Structure 1
Amino acid sequence: MACGGFTCSKNALCALNILYVMVSLLMVGIAAWGKWFGLVSSFQVVGGVIAVGVFLFLVAVVGLIGAIKHHQVLLFFYMIILFLVFVVQLSVSCACLAINSEQQHHLLEIGWNNSQTTQRDVEKNINCCGFNSFDYNGTCEASCFSSRTCSTCGETIQDHADEILRFVGGIGFFFSFTEILGVWLTYRYRNQKDPRANPSAFL
Structure 2
Amino acid sequence: MACAGFTCSKTSLCAINILYVMVSLLMIGIAAWGKWFGLVSSFQVVGGVIGVGVFLFLVAVVGLVGAIKHHQVLLFFYMIVLFMVFVVQFSVSCACLAITEEQQHQLLEIGWNDSQTTQRDVEKNIDCCGFSSVNYNGTCEASCFSSHNCVPCAVTIQQHADDVLHFVGGIGLFFSFTEILGVWLTYRYRNQKDPRANPSAFL
- Asked if these proteins are the same fold (TM beyond 0.5), I'd say yes
* 2:160 matched residue in structure 1: 160
Q: How far apart are the structure 1 equivalents of 2:62 and 2:159?
A: 41
Q: How far apart are the structure 2 equivalents of 1:144 and 1:77?
A: 53
* 2:114 matched residue in structure 1: 114
Structure 1 letter corresponding to 2:47: G
Structure 2 letter corresponding to 1:148: H
Q: How far apart are the structure 2 equivalents of 1:167 and 1:72?
A: 37
* 1:48 matched residue in structure 2: 48
Q: Give deviations 1:32-52, integer Å, cap 9, x for gaps.
A: 000000000000000000000
Q: How far apart are the structure 1 equivalents of 2:151 and 2:201?
A: 72
* 1:185 matched residue in structure 2: 185
Deviation at 1:135, TM superposition (A): 1.2
Deviation at 1:201, TM superposition (A): 4.8
* 2:174 matched residue in structure 1: 174
Instruction: Give the share of equivalent positions with the same residue, in percent.
Output: 86
Deviation at 1:126, TM superposition (A): 0.3
Deviation at 1:70, TM superposition (A): 0.1
Q: Show the 5 A alignment for 1:37-186.
A: 37-186=37-186
Q: Give deviations 1:118-156, integer Å, cap 9, x for gaps.
A: 000000000000000121111111111111111000111
Secondary structure, counterpart of 1:50 in structure 2: helix
Q: How far apart are the structure 1 equivalents of 2:86 and 2:53?
A: 15
Q: How far apart are the structure 1 equivalents of 2:118 and 2:192?
A: 50
Q: How far apart are the structure 2 equivalents of 1:158 and 1:3?
A: 45
Q: Give deviations 1:100-129, integer Å, cap 9, x for gaps.
A: 000000000000000000000000000000
Deviation at 1:3, TM superposition (A): 2.7
Q: Give deviations 1:40-83, integer Å, cap 9, x for gaps.
A: 00000000000000000000000000000000000000000000
Q: How far apart are the structure 1 equivalents of 2:115 and 2:134?
A: 17
Structure 2 letter corresponding to 1:45: V
Q: How far apart are the structure 1 equivalents of 2:145 and 2:124?
A: 10
Q: Please, which runs of 5 or more residues in structure 1 have no aligned partner?
A: none
Secondary structure, counterpart of 1:198 in structure 2: coil
Q: Give deviations 1:150-183, integer Å, cap 9, x for gaps.
A: 1000111001111110100000001000000000
- Structure 1 stretches of 4+ moved >3 Å: none
Q: How far apart are the structure 2 equivalents of 1:17 and 1:76?
A: 15
Structure 2 letter corresponding to 1:128: C
Q: How far apart are the structure 2 equivalents of 1:162 and 1:21?
A: 29
